[in-house]
Chain A
Amino acid sequence: MNFEKKSEINIDRSLGDFSYDVDYTFDAGVGLSESTIDYICDVKNDPDWVRSFRKEGYRKFLEKPMPTHWATKDLENIVFENIRYYLSQGSIPKRTWEEVPEDVKKTFERLGIPEQERKYLAGVEAQFDSEAAYSNIKAAVGKQGVIFVGSAEGLREHPEIFRKWFGKVIPSGDNKFSALNSAVFSGGSFIYVPPGVKVAHPLQAYFRINAQNFGQFERTLIIADEGAEVVYMEGCTAPKFETATLHSAVVELVALKGAKIQYITVQNWSSNVFNLVTKRGVAYEDAQIKWIDCNIGSRLTMKYPGVVMKGRRARGEVVSIALAGEGQHQDTGAKMIHAADETSSNIISKSISLGSGRATYRGMVHVPKHLKKCKNNTECDALLINTQSRTDTYPAITVRGQGHSVQHEASVSQINEEQIFYMQQRGLSEAAAMSLAVNGFVNDLVEQFPMEYSIELKRLIDLEMEGSVG
């Protein structure tokens, strides 16, 4: 079997390549200016402090350079003037399934969400373009005093909690794209879990992009108060369009003393999407933040979930899977900032590159001199499918002072032709054999995803592998 000869990759995107007409009530037009931001503020009826926050974000966006010193040149191909920064269905968040527009239901149907998962959707905050098209907080969660709403509702209805943390974990000037998000954000979730409350069911959100040249800029803020526990899951698929689409979210997590937050993402962007996301959490004393992240699709993804361990014994963790298909670049990794004694962090990253796909691991671990007894473990494994596939690893580990423990392991492997032959001898097609080997490679990480997500993940991997051979 000669992989070089099989460079023709036809990824089956039939699950994502469709869109239905949606009546957009509000449309900020293409391009970005001060007046675009005023338009967004007026449409969303933003309070004054949000208006000035957006404008400050806009100024920083103009000031900040593109991260060209290390990022791929492909970033230069984003034409900010051609992007539509705000679109709305003009609908307020829906509470029941019956109220959800038929188009949206059809879209979910087409995505093949299984019956079981639709039950989950009963408690889902699903974003359809900029606005939450559907939002239904599970009664039980509400009774526990948990706030789970769209970010717009969050800033209007719960300003006392919202303002305290909003933009604090990721300041608008953190990078050019967080500044852009600060200027034009809409959608996303706001979650507050009161002290000691353990949310039994994962809270879910489902994002899609459904308008050509439309950037999606959701903004999520999750606060787990002292001793609280919450799991949040987001899944993304996007229909394919001919021109590039920009997705640039900001997600901020705050885990107060002894709190635990798990943030799970599975995404499958179509291959024209620039996915430039800033995700970071702050963990206070004895708190734990875990990012579980799976990136499939997109043209370019740049995403490095981070945890700032601010309190003693805080723990940060990033578990990530990236699959870079033909023409795609997954530039992902993690940032672990140790800022207190006895903090520990763990990074496990696995990537798969197929066709001309490129997977890059970029990790930053920072332990300053004055701290004691900090621990970090970093493991990154890469799997290359075709001879022209590419992987790079850039670990930046800065550890000063004594008594810290740091471990780093990296591996690169290729699917062995003898393995494929062995599986074919048992009756599996070459594609099925590849798929099984790839699923096996990521299996220990996939098991960390909730059941329905791991099934979807396996399905996504199968779909990607189907087009990758023969």
Chain B
Amino acid sequence: MNTLSIRHLYASIGEKPILEDLNLDIPQGEVHAIMGKNGSGKSTLAKVIAGHPDYTVTSGDVLLHGESILGMDPQVRARLGFFLAFQYPMEIPGVTIANFIRAALQARLPEGEELEATDYYAELYAKMDTLGIPRSFTARSVNVGFSGGEKKRCEILQMMMLKPRCALLDETDSGLDIDALKVVASGVNALRSSEIGMLVITHYQRLLDYIVPDRVHVMAAGKIVLSGEKDLALKLEAKGYDWVSA
């Protein structure tokens, strides 16, 4: 079973086509990486899968565990187990991280069922410890005044709490120093299992030293142009992206 299947996907923003005939399968339990130059459509792909209203899918399909998710509201896709770690996480002034994650978990429960607060905090604190996040963090407003590293850690914390079946990390390594990168990667690796499929979008091969992918895909001009084993990332690093398009 594929966690995520993308079939002949065409998508545009306004009149401008960005994704053109993109095909990709991520089997359950695998971690794939997408690499590519700026403007190759990597982040668009992430937003289209998440259901961002600015993008229009003109043809093709996106299947989550065999079920087409196109046409579903973003929150429905999320509740089906899709998680996107944002490249630029949004600030939500006045809403604490603890309350935000709690609201997100609560939204997944059937009507009338309440999240057990004690269990919730126990789990939250345990995961924060894993990511080296101090307790005081929970009282801060989501992403407000966070450093780049704090934002990314906060994304991974949310991912660990929401336990997705399919996770997409959009340039999670950008703006991270090597220590923060290691912490974030350890969080991702802790989540790796036969149950989850992951897609890691990155510009640099550096992240892939810590999150070792099963497959690497290279994206250019809105489609996958090359796929290979993990050593493909190293080749790219050595030869540059022009080597692919050449």
Contacts and interface: CB of A to CB of B under 8 A. Distances in A.
Given A426-B162, A436-B103, A421 B91 contact: no
B135 to A, nearest CB: 20
B66 interface: no
A440 B158 contact: no
A428 B94 contact: no
B108 interface: yes
B91 A428 contact: no
A418 B86 CA distance: 11
Contact of B75 (A428, A437, A440, A443): A428
A440 B95 contact: yes
Contact of B90 (A2, A419, A429, A430): A419
Interface string B46-58: 0000111100000
Interface in B66-106: 73-75, 77-79, 83-84, 86, 89-95, 99-101, 103-105
B92 A421 contact: no
Interface residues of A, number: 25
B95 A428 contact: no
Given A419-B90, A419-B91, A426 B52 contact: no
B141 interface: yes
B91 A427 contact: no
Given A417-B53, A432-B103, A432-B107, A424 B74 contact: yes
Contact of A428 (B53, B86, B90, B107): B107
A287 interface: no
A437 B108 contact: no
B75 A427 contact: yes
Contacts of A421: 50, 52-53, 74, 90
Interface in B25-62: 50-53
Contacts of B78: 424-427
Nearest to B158: A426
B107 A441 contact: no
A444 B96 CA distance: 11
Contacts of A371: none
A425 B107 contact: no
Nearest to B144: A440
B79 A427 contact: yes
A141 B162 CA distance: 49
B94 A441 contact: yes
A416 interface: yes
Nearest to A446: B94
A436 B92 contact: yes
Nearest to B161: A426
Contacts of A442: 94
- Residue of A1, A422, A441, A444 most packed against chain B (CB within 10 A): A422
Contacts of A2: 53
A136 interface: no
Nearest to A2: B53
Contacts of A417: 53
A426 B100 contact: yes
Contact of A422 (B79, B86, B93, B94): B86
Contacts of B92: 419, 422-423, 436-437, 440
B119 to A, nearest CB: 18
A451 B16 CA distance: 51
A427 B81 CA distance: 9
A422 B52 CA distance: 9
A439 interface: yes
B200 to A, nearest CB: 17
23 contacts: A2-B53, A417-B53, A419-B91, A419-B92, A421-B52, A421-B74, A421-B90, A426-B75, A426-B158, A427-B105, A428-B75, A428-B107, A429-B73, A436-B100, A437-B92, A437-B95, A439-B94, A439-B95, A440-B92, A440-B94, A440-B95, A440-B141, A443-B95
Given A428-B75, A440-B94, 11 more contacts: A417-B53, A419-B90, A423-B100, A426-B103, A427-B75, A427-B78, A427-B79, A427-B162, A429-B107, A436-B95, A440-B95
Interface of B: 50-53, 73-75, 77-79, 83-84, 86, 89-95, 99-101, 103-105, 107-108, 141, 158, 162
In the A-B complex, the 10 residue pairs with the closest CB atoms: A440-B94, A443-B94, A440-B95, A424-B74, A422-B90, A426-B104, A427-B78, A427-B107, A424-B75, A419-B90
